[in-house]
Amino acid sequence: MTALLSIQDLQVAFRLGERGAKTVVPAVKGVSFDIPENTTLALVGESGSGKSVTAMSILNLLPDNAQRSGRILWQGRDLLTASRPDLQALRGREIACVFQDPMSSLNPVFSIGAQLCEPLVKHLGMGKRAALARAEELLAETGLPEPKRRLASYPHELSGGQQQRVMIAMALACEPKLLIADEPTTALDVTIQRQILELIARMKDKLRMSVLFISHDLGVVGEISDRVVVMRHGTVREQGDVAQIFSAPQDAYTRALLACRPSLTDSPARLTVIDEHITGGTTTSTAAAVAKDPDAPVVLEVKALAKSFFIKQGLFGKREFKAVQGVNFQLRRGHTLGVVGESGSGKTTMGLTLLRLHEPTGGEVIFDGQNLLKLNDRDRQTMRRRIQIVFQNPYASLNPRFTIGQTLIEPMAIHGIGADTAEREDRARALLAKVGLPPETFFKYPHEFSGGQRQRVAIARCLTLNPEVLVLDEAVSALDVSVQAQVLNLLRDLQDELGLAYVFISHDLAVVRFISDEVLVMKDGQVVEQASAAQILAAPQQDYTRRLLGAVPRGWQAPPG
């Protein structure tokens, strides 16, 4: 099979400090693979494995301090020696890119129509009217509703899934021969993810193009790919057909990656961690989770919780949008309530309303015999230390100017925990050890850590206040499978040790199956189904729940017979 793109002994390093500095950090170390015509090749591996750096090297979309060597042959022509004008002619015309966060890729001050027309005018020489007509066709092909009206919309007026469809339409506008898709579905819920994957597969077949698909989600990779390249620490550990990689992986790292994935059918006591698997260390991932006490005391009771937003309409009017309607549940000590649903289902709004980060429009939240929604500011401040929240993006919730030590000490000082600074420092160091971070973490800044390490810091900060309830809002959704396994194991350990109760909000049903005792399914702000985790996943009662489960990527499946 003819290679459309051939990467041969690619090496990429980054200079640190000022230009000409001698400190050079290697990121990609001798990577080689081919992408045949009309083929989807997946690059998989943990964060920091070099996947994105390898892909961005193809069109030299790397910062100025990057140094590249080797060969990148595009239809026999070496792109490493191509001039800037030649690369600009290729970008968007023959090789196009779709990135993880469409909102940061789309220009907020230009309409969707203007951004779609730009590559059509620049690369294909279309007139404005013809470009607008083609832009409308592209939006229709990607399944965006009301495509003509969307041409006048701006990025902030679209949902995440709709923005990603626009990005795909822009990437495919000039019918490229290669699409580079860098984590295009990571932040999307399962149903939107399914739609985007089907869209990419459909457009690949229609245009007979190749796809370089970058992901840490092996379930997705197993469904969409023809070939797989597994990377770690900047090197290729294994590559081959998708069936070979999933059914008979040869490398210990590949086997470890596959073993880290939570299952929709089992709930082990712990998830496998990559280093344990590779070194053959002891793991209890095959043991079943210990059953929780069904008679544990109720720590949080929610009754008819409601939250509405009022949107201006006309000159004087306003329209009510009911984001959360009549939510009821009980949360027991040491238990986890999983909350699942599509984007816009109201699950995050419900979690924020529990903490009065959104002011509720109705209902009760009973904690320690008091209705949190009726407390005055002073009593609410006292109660807030007992209910904490961990957000999806730890970097956005950590002060970049504070060391980790300052980050942990500040809430203790505000709430009067600890007799003096020395006692608070000792407690902060002990908490860092509890979440598996080394002592030197205390003096470092957030930017010096990986996503998984920052999430551990965010959890440690919550623990400084001795909380009884943690609300975790998509706390592991942006983490690769190995780091995700570590954080989920940590959460379960802390729950067993401290008796913490969790409200765990997620769109990943396999993760919810592992961590949750009871699951609450939300749609359009309402609870449509509520039962134990095992019951919901084994025998869902609602069509909506069955649709959510049906959209979950299962990975590569052997053909029947």
162: part of which helix (H) or strand (E)? Answer: helix 160-172
Q: So what's the pLDDT on residue 311?
A: 79
Please report the pLDDT score of residue 284 as a whole number: 45
- d(CA 449, CA 480) in angstroms, rounded, equals 15
Q: What is the pLDDT of residues 416-436, one digit of tens each?
A: 888 899 999 999 999 998 888
Mean pLDDT in residue range 214-239? 90
Angle of the 252-260 helix axis to the 481-498 helix axis, nearest 10: 50
Higher per-residue confidence, 152 vs 452? 152
| Band (187; pLDDT cuts 50, 70, 90) | low
pLDDT at 79: 94
User: Band of the pLDDT at 342, cuts 50, 70, 90?
Assistant: confident
Half-sphere exposure of 556 (CA within 13 A, CB side): 19
Angle, CA of 168, 170 and 175, to the nearest 5°: 90
The pLDDT of residue 287: 54
CA distances from 538 to 293, 318, 533 (A): 22, 43, 8
Q: Which residues contact 134 (CB under 8 A, 6 or more apart)?
A: 120, 126, 173
Average pLDDT, the chain: 87
Q: What is the mean pLDDT of residues 468-483?
A: 83
Among 204-208, 221-225, 275-279, 463-467, the minimum mean pLDDT is found in 275-279
User: Tens digits of per-residue pLDDT, 101-159?
Assistant: 777 788 999 999 999 999 999 888 999 999 999 999 989 888 888 889 899 999 888 87
* Most confident option among 83-92, 276-285, 389-398: 83-92
Q: Which of 187-191, 253-257, 357-361 has the lowest mean pLDDT?
A: 187-191
| Tokens 């924020």 -> residue | 352
Q: What is the mean pLDDT of residues 4-9?
A: 95
Pairing of β 3-15 and β 24-36: antiparallel
pLDDT of 559: 62
The pLDDT value given to residue 262: 83
Q: Does residue 524 carry a pLDDT above 70?
A: yes
> Is 320 exposed, middle or buried, given 0-12, 13-18 or 19+ CB atoms closer than 10 A?
exposed
277 or 4, which is more confident?
4
Structural domains of the chain, with CATH: 1-94+177-260 (3.40.50.300), 103-173 (no CATH), 333-359+371-550 (3.40.50.300)
Angle, alpha carbons 17-21-26 (nearest 5°): 80
